[in-house]
Amino acid sequence: DHRLDARFVMRWIDILDRLVVEAEPQLTEFDAAIGDADHGANMTRATCACKAVLGDVPPLTTAAAFSEVGEALAQYIGGASGPLYGAIFLALGDSVPATTDIGAGDLVAGMREALISLHNLGAAVVGDKTMVDAIAPAVAELEQLVSVGAPFPEAVAAAAEAAARGARSTIPLRARKGRAAYLGPRSEGHQDPGATSSALLFEALRLAVGP
């Protein structure tokens, strides 16, 4: 079935970069409403740095590709989101087998580790109006569908939809983490920028896995 190699990681990042560039005005607008209007710029810089660090020649293992991406995000990208996205990819790099390629189940298990790592760093839970509101339901959907034997592309498509729903679910919420939390009730009625970019992460995964 699905074997995911370092080229797959490069495809995922390439597609994410394209989606982030397309969505940059929206990410900027969302962060202007409840933050400091730099999430679009932070994310385009982030995906550009990831593409640069991966280069043209794939790393030897999927795990190495994830780790390179994680280091680039954690080290070079400012804002709250850089280290948080960095933690996701560093956890993926640490938890998947260090073999040339990995199985779909390895990626799913890695995504659970990534969510734990995100929580360990940012301490946000579902409902705090953060990236976690998109990522947690997406990981749950992925695990659930893979556990009942759904084809991987179907599971990833469902996860992408869950992430998009999760991002929209942040609109009425009051932020409890990050700079939006300082706004208190004035953060209500706006979609969280980080949850929006996290939905793009899963949409890019869907497109990278293919039909």
Q: Point out which residues bind ligand ADP (CB under 6 A).
A: 31, 35-36, 38-39, 42, 79-81, 84, 122-124, 130-132, 177-179, 192-195
Which residue stretches of 62-192 are H helix? 62-76, 81-95, 104-122, 132-147, 152-169
31 touches Mg ion (CB under 5 A): yes
Give whichever of 59 and 194 is closer to ligand ADP, judged by the CB atom: 194
3-class DSSP string for 52-72: HHHCCCCCCCHHHHHHHHHHH
Report the nearest approach of Mg ion to the CB of residue 20 (Å). Answer: 14
Among the candidate windows 39-47, 152-160, 163-171, 199-207, which touches Mg ion by CB under 5 A? 39-47
101-103 vs 3-5, strand pairing mode = antiparallel
For the chain, helix, strand, coil in percent to 5 are: 75, 5, 25
Q: 23 is in the binding site of which of Mg ion, ligand ADP, none (Cβ under 5 to 8 A by kind)?
A: none
- Taking the least distance from each CB to ligand ADP, the nearer of 12 and 30 is 30
Distances in whole angstroms, Cα of residue 13 to Cα of each of 10, 44, 148, 164, 179 = 5, 11, 28, 18, 27
The SS3 of residue 167 is: helix
Q: How far is the CB of 66 from ligand ADP (least distance, A)?
A: 19
By CB under 5 A, is residue 194 in contact with Mg ion? no
- Closest among 62, 78, 50 to 4, alpha carbons compared: 62
Residues 104-163 that bind Mg ion (CB under 5 A): none
How many beta carbons lie within 10 A of that of residue 123, not counting itself? 12
For the bound state, the minimum distance from the C-beta of residue 184 to ligand ADP, rounded and expressed in Å, comes to 15
Closer of 98 and 123 to ligand ADP (Cβ): 123
Q: Which does 124 bind (CB under 5 to 8 A by kind): Mg ion, ligand ADP, none?
A: ligand ADP
Using CB under 5 A, list all residues that contact Mg ion.
31, 35-36, 38-39, 79
